[in-house]
Amino acid sequence: MKYVLLLRGINVGGKNKVSMAEFKEMISHLGYTNVISYINSGNIIFDTSDSIETINQNISIILNTYPFKINKVILSKSQYLEELDNLPSWWFNDLYRKDVLFYTNEIDYSIMRARIEKMPLQDEAVHFGKCAVFWGKSNETSYLKTSYHKYLIKESFYNSITIRNSRTFEKIADILKK
pLDDT for residue 122 = 83
Q: What CA–CA distance (Å, rounded) separates 138 from 174?
A: 25
**What percentage of the chain exceeds 90 in pLDDT?**
88
pLDDT in tens, 139-154: 889 888 999 999 999 9
* pTM reported for the whole predicted model: 0.94
pLDDT 10s digits, 95-132:
999 999 999 888 999 999 999 999 999 899 999 999 99
Q: What DSSP line would sit under 57-81, residue for residue? A: HHHHHHHTTSSS---EEEEEHHHHH
Categorize the per-residue pLDDT at 26 as very low, low, confident or very high, splitting at 50, 70 and 90: very high
CATH number of 82-165: 3.30.70.1260
Query: Could you give the CA distance from residue 165 to residue 99 in angstroms, rounded to a whole number?
Result: 4
Domain residue ranges in the chain:
2-79, 82-165
Domain range 2-79, CATH architecture: 2-Layer Sandwich (3.30)
* 2-79 shares its CATH topology with 82-165: yes
Contact 147, 119 (CB under 8 A): yes
pLDDT tens readout for residues 35-74: 999 999 899 999 999 999 999 999 999 999 999 999 999 9
Q: What is the pLDDT of residue 175?
A: 97
Calculate the average pLDDT of the chain: 95
